[in-house]
């Protein structure tokens, strides 16, 4: 520390980020800077935004994943197609980004010399056939499967194939947070540069609900264009997911995946977010179910009370009508009895009169 401090003089002003960027930018020199030269590579379209008459696209190396920003004038860009191998006259420049502290190299096209359409070889034909097969088979619904398992309160079996020296499992676990309890995750380490090892791991773990190939980035992205590996992925029973850490190119294996992510971190975040969304939906649907049941019970109770009131009113009305009918019968019976009593009294008088007549006749006869 003393020796370091001894080299700092009191009259030396402190550097700020801008001065540091300028210092390093000025120190980066090359005979190619700001001079025209020939370039060749594969043309890739950028975002398609016109910035004052130019577009920021990409020139990719024909044999590696290396690429550089390509500035194309508007009048030349209309002549270019995605995937063409181009030769152009260009010049190299540096661009400082004061907000991120980056110094980028940029190729600016001044003249387009040749364009060669991308040749379609036998492997590309086979790759297109695999993509057509996948489109016909369909993409499995990973969201639906996870939601279904969570609703059933069952764990989701996930196997993640990673590199032998990878530490991305920690990144995934970190993103899962409290959702880790619902995912039964197994990490299988293989050499991701060897196709036979990857295929063997895929076959051995095809009983999982979800099978993932994940890596943290780097070179050798071409291995995931391997036809044998892609064919194996196409025949998987498990839901197949990739998180192979590459945004610039989309390898065949990623296109065949039921779902893909750029990084393993994004995969873990997806598992966490889906768990929380499903939990919220479940709680909301549970509350709605309780509210619906309560409302239905109230309606049923009100209906039963109304039916009971109607029955009581009908019974009361029937009893009143019965009572009136009984009163009428009693009245009729009373009147009948009164009439019968009066008739009996008359009959008794007649009988007595008849007996008196008979007695009188007998007395009169004996007197003679």
Q: Which CATH number goes with the domain that contains 70?
A: 2.40.50.140
Alpha helices in the chain (DSSP H): 2-6, 17-27, 74-77, 122-137, 142-151, 168-176, 195-204, 227-234, 252-256, 264-367
pLDDT at 153: 86
User: Each residue of 72-105: pLDDT tens digit?
Assistant: 999 999 889 888 899 999 999 888 777 777 788 8
- Domain assignment present for residue 337? The answer is no
Report the C-alpha gap between 204 and 223 in whole angstroms.
20
Pair (161, 201) in one structural domain: yes
Distances (CA, A) of 293 to 270, 300, 307, 317: 34, 10, 21, 36
Of 268, 226, 221, 272, give the one whose Cα is nearest residue 247: 221
Please answer whether residues 258 and 239 qualify as being in contact, where contact means their C-beta atoms are separated by less than 8 angstroms.
yes
Q: What angle do CA 177, 250, 143 make, to 5 degrees?
A: 40
- Domain assignment present for residue 180? The answer is yes
Pair (103, 163) in one structural domain: no
Tokens 């190396």 sit at which residue? 61
Write down the mean pLDDT value for the chain: 84
Would you say residue 366 has pLDDT above 90? no
Pair (39, 127) in one structural domain: no
What's the pTM? 0.54
Q: Averaged over 4-21, what is the pLDDT?
A: 64
Name the strand (E) or helix (H) holding 213: strand 210-214
Q: Which one of 57, 92, 116 terminates a domain?
A: 116
Q: Which carries the bigger pLDDT value, residue 122 or residue 189?
A: 189
Pair (107, 134) in one structural domain: no
Tokens 């076959």 sit at which residue? 203
Tokens standing for residue 343? 């008739």
User: Each residue of 141-168: pLDDT tens digit?
Assistant: 999 999 998 888 888 999 999 999 888 8
Pair (154, 84) in one structural domain: no
Pair (110, 182) in one structural domain: no
Q: What is the CA radius of gyration of the chain?
A: 49
């Amino acid at each position: 520390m003393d020796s370091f401090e001894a080299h700092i003089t009191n009259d030396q002003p402190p550097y700020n980020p801008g001065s540091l960027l300028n210092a390093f930018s000025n120190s980066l020199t090359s005979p190619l800077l700001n001079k025209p030269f020939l370039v060749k590579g594969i043309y890739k379209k950028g975002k398609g935004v016109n910035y004052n008459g130019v577009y920021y696209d990409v020139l990719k190396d024909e044999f590696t994943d290396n690429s550089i920003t390509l500035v194309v004038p508007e009048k030349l860009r209309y002549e270019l197609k995605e995937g063409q191998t181009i030769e152009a006259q260009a010049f190299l420049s540096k661009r400082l980004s004061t907000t991120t502290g980056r110094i980028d190299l940029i190729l600016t096209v001044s003249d387009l010399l040749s364009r060669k359409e991308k040749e379609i070889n036998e492997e590309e034909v086979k790759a297109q056939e695999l993509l057509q097969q996948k489109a016909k088979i369909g993409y499995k619904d990973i969201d639906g499967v996870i939601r279904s398992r969570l609703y059933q309160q069952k764990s989701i079996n996930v196997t993640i194939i990673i590199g032998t020296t990878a530490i991305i499992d920690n990144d995934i676990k970190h993103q899962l947070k409290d959702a880790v309890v619902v995912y039964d995750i197994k990490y299988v380490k293989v050499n991701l540069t060897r196709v036979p090892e990857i295929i063997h791991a895929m076959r051995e773990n095809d009983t999982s609900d979800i099978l993932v190939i994940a890596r943290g980035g780097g070179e050798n992205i071409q291995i995931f264009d391997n036809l044998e590996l892609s064919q194996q992925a196409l025949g998987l029973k498990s839901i197949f997911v990739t998180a192979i850490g590459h945004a610039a190119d989309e390898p065949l294996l990623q296109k065949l995946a039921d779902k893909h992510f750029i990084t393993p971190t994004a995969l873990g975040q997806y598992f966490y977010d889906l768990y929380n969304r499903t939990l919220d939906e479940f709680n909301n649907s549970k509350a709605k179910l309780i509210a619906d049941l309560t409302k239905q019970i109230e309606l049923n109770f009100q209906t039963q009370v109304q039916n009971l009131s109607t029955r009581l009113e009908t019974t009361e009305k029937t009893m009143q009508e019965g009572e009136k009918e009984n009163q009428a019968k009693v009245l009729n019976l009373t009147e009948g009895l009164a009439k019968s009593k009066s008739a009996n009294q008359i009959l008794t008088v007649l009988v007595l009169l008849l007996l008196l007549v008979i007695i009188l006749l007998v007395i009169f006869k004996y007197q003679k």
